[in-house]
Structure formats: C-alpha cells, structure tokens
A and B are shown apart, each in its own frame.
Chain A
Amino acid sequence: MSERSKAYAEAMLAVAKAEGYLADVEDDLFRFARTVEANDELLLALTNRNLPTERRLAVVEDLMGGKALATSVALASMVVAAGRAGELGEIVDEFVAAAAAERDQEVAEVRSAIPLTDEQITRLTAALSAATGKAVEVKLVVDPHVLGGLVARLGDLVIDGTVRHRLDQLKEQI
C-alpha cells in the first residue's frame, strides 16, 4: 500500500465522516471499485489519459449517478480526474479498512456467486468473528466467477469455500 493511496483514503474518510455518510459512502465506493476491477474495458477507459477528463467523469456519473450518494460520486470522480483510476481499488480498500478501524472492526471481503440475505450476512459475520477472534465487517462482492459457495479475505487470511477453488484443486490434482 503506497503512501499516496493512504493519503487518498484518509481524504475520503475525512470527507465521508464530515458529510455524515461514512457507511453509505463505504458501500458505494466498495461496489464501484469492485465493478471497475471486474471490467477491463471500463478500467481501460477510466485510466486512458488520452480520453478527456470530462468523458471519464461522465462514465463515472453514468455508473454511479442515481444509485450512489453525491458524496460517493464526487470522491470517485476526484480519483478518476486525478488520473488514479488504476489505483482506485487499492485506495478504496484502504478507505474501507480505515473506516472499519474507526469502528474497531476488520473488513472481510466476501465473494459470492449470488447475493446474500441480511440474515446470511449477519450469521456469516458472526462466524468469521468467531473464527478470527476479531470484530468483522463483511463487504459482499457478487462475483459469478466463483460459481458457487463463498470466499472471505481478511487481510492475509483467506477462507475459500467456492466451487471455483475446488475446481482449481481438482485441476492441480489432475
């Protein structure tokens, strides 16, 4: 994690706290960052410096407008306008981790092929907290690539129960 990413994350944290929508901004930016990471063409468009800034910001507005807080759109636009869209995932991860740390929690990035219900997220949070001995905040990413099951990543700890992981293990065995 670079110092610059930390600086951007701290700025995001300060703005979100100042606006009073820290949790919502976290969710908005986390989903946006995961969406950009999963789409190579979108990432290429946002990081293309030959593309006018207005066009890149228009892409951000199209993706987040109406579905996210204005603060979240403004923060994402700031990163893209600064030409740091390639580091957006890293910056948002740092921001989410810093926000969780404010609540004495650790972020667990959980990927699933289908959305989870609130009740499932609550039980998963409790299970992960029990497994790690820490207060865990689950950030869910819907990722069809995992095919089925769940994978949770807490810092360096990875608990993988996805069908994709089992297929990879099977491939190694073959």
Chain B
Amino acid sequence: MKIRKLLATAGVAMALVIAVPSVASAAAKPSEFTDCMLKASELKTTTAQDNAANNCHKATSPILPALNEIVWGGIAFLIVAGVLLKFAFPALKKGLADRSAKIASDIAGAEAARAAAEAEAAEYQAKLAEARSDAGRIIEEARQSAEALRADLVARAEADAQGIRARASEEVQALTARALADLQGRVADLSIELAEKVVEHNLDHDTQIALIEGYINSVGTSGG
C-alpha cells in the first residue's frame, strides 16, 4: 500500500511540474527573446506592442522540458516503475513481511518472556512469602526457645540462690551454735575455775574431815 501511495504521489508531482505555468526567466534563450521583441515592434499599436513586449518577457520554465522529453521520460519512468514493481517490490515486500514476522515473533517471544518472567516473579513472590513465613516461624521458635531458656536459667538461678541462701543460713546457724557452745564451754570453764578458787578458800580442815566422813559413811551405808 505504501508503495502504491508513493507511486501515486510521484505521478501527481510530475503532473504538477508539467502543468504549472512557467515564470519569467532570464534563462530563456536570447534568440527567441530577440525574435519576440522584433515581432512585437512590428505591431501597429502601442498597446499591442506593450502587450507583446510583456509577453516576450514571459520566459519559459527552466525546469520544464520539452514535450518529447516528457514523453520519453514518462515512458522510461513507466519502464523503470514496471521493473521495480516486477522485481524489486516483491523482494522488498518479502523483506518487509519477514521483518514483520520477525517483529511479531520477537513480540511473541517478548510476551512469552514477559509471561515467563511474570510466572517466575510470581514463583519468586511465593517463595519469598514462604521464606518470610519460614523466617517468621523460625523467629517465633527461636523466641520461644530463648524464652524457655531464659525461664530455665532464671529458675536455675533462683534455685541456686535459694540453695546458697539455705547453705549460708545453715552455716550461720552452725557458726552461731558453735560460738554459743564455745561460749558456754568458756563460761563453764570460768565458772568452774571460779568455783574451784571459792571451794579451795572455803575448804578448811573441818570441811575436809566432814567430806571424808560423809564419803566413808555413804560407802558403808551403800554396802550394808
């Protein structure tokens, strides 16, 4: 279609070139101008001469060929156009068709690639969601493990602390009891030492005799 439009446009342009009136041009041939001017001067009236002279000044189009050139050129153009339509345009059409097919194929491939990429993206999104889910689960499990570990450690620490407190309390009680026992022993020793001194001072001979007599009587009584 484009080729036909191009050919039609070319034909129209040629017709316009041929149909457009030529403007005055200095490029007109001098002999023709001179002959024209001579012919104009030979006219009888001034007005007629002026009009003829003005017409002489109207030169032919510099690009407008002669009629025979146009005919031959048109024939040559038609021949060339025919050759082109016969040989060049099919190859050109084939190339354009191939290019269109290739572009369509590329578009289809791109579509397929896009679809594959979208599928891959969807799969990636699914995997990402799954990974996020797994990560969340793992984090939750880790959090629960950490919480359990923390609770266990706290429980152990509390048990240890309680044991330490209990042992410390027992040690304090034992030390207190030992100190009290030592104190009692010391008090007893001091009391006995004091009592000995008191007894030694108060045990006169009569008291000694009384103790001995009491012992003898006691032993004799128990034996009797």
Chain A residues at the B interface, C-beta cutoff of 8 Å: 112-114, 116, 120, 123-124, 126-133, 147-150, 152, 159, 161, 163, 167-168, 170-171, 174
B188 sits at the interface (CB 8 A) = yes
From A130, A152, A163, give the contact of B220 (CB < 8 A).
A130
Asked if A163 and B199 make an inter-chain contact with CB atoms under 8 angstroms apart, the answer reads yes
Asked if A130 and B205 make an inter-chain contact with CB atoms under 8 angstroms apart, the answer reads no
Q: 16 A–B contact pairs at CB < 8 A?
A: A112-B212, A114-B212, A123-B220, A126-B220, A127-B220, A128-B223, A129-B223, A131-B219, A131-B220, A147-B199, A148-B207, A148-B211, A149-B214, A161-B219, A171-B188, A174-B192
A161 to B219, CA, bound (A): 9
Known contacts A147-B196, A167-B199, A171-B192: A130-B224 contact under CB 8 Å: yes
Q: Which residue of A lies closest to B207 (CB)?
A: A148
| Additional A-B contacts beyond A127-B219, A163-B199, A171-B188 (8; CB < 8 A) | A124-B216, A130-B219, A131-B220, A147-B203, A149-B212, A149-B215, A152-B219, A161-B215
**For window 179-215 of chain B, which residues contact chain A by CB distance below 8 Å?**
184, 187-189, 191-192, 195-196, 199-200, 203, 205, 207-208, 211-215
| B222 contacts across to A, CB distance below 8 A | 131
Known contacts A170-B192, A171-B188, A174-B191: A113-B208 contact under CB 8 Å: yes
B218 sits at the interface (CB 8 A) = yes
| B195 contacts across to A, CB distance below 8 A | 167, 170
**For window 78-132 of chain B, which residues contact chain A by CB distance below 8 Å?**
none
| B187 contacts across to A, CB distance below 8 A | 174
- Top 9 nearest A-B pairs (CB, nearest first) are A130-B223, A131-B223, A127-B220, A174-B188, A161-B215, A149-B211, A127-B219, A150-B215, A171-B192
Asked if A167 and B212 make an inter-chain contact with CB atoms under 8 angstroms apart, the answer reads no
Known contacts A130-B220, A171-B189: A150-B212 contact under CB 8 Å: yes
Asked if B216 and A120 make an inter-chain contact with CB atoms under 8 angstroms apart, the answer reads yes
A172 to chain B, nearest CB (A): 8
From B189, B191, B199, B217, give the contact of A148 (CB < 8 A).
B199
Q: Which residue of B lies closest to A125 (CB)?
A: B216
A114 to B222, CA, bound (A): 24
| A123 contacts across to B, CB distance below 8 A | 216, 220
Known contacts A120-B216, A127-B219, A167-B195: A161-B224 contact under CB 8 Å: no
A170 to chain B, nearest CB (A): 7
| A174 contacts across to B, CB distance below 8 A | 184, 187-188, 191-192
- Which of B188, B189, B217 has most A Cβ within 10 Å? B188
A34 to chain B, nearest CB (A): 19
A127 to chain B, nearest CB (A): 4
| A126 contacts across to B, CB distance below 8 A | 220
Known contacts A114-B205, A147-B203, A167-B196: A161-B211 contact under CB 8 Å: yes
| A133 contacts across to B, CB distance below 8 A | 223
Q: Which residue of B lies closest to A160 (CB)?
A: B215
A152 to B220, CA, bound (A): 13
| A127 contacts across to B, CB distance below 8 A | 216-217, 219-220, 223
| B196 contacts across to A, CB distance below 8 A | 147, 167
Asked if A114 and B208 make an inter-chain contact with CB atoms under 8 angstroms apart, the answer reads yes
A168 to B189, CA, bound (A): 10
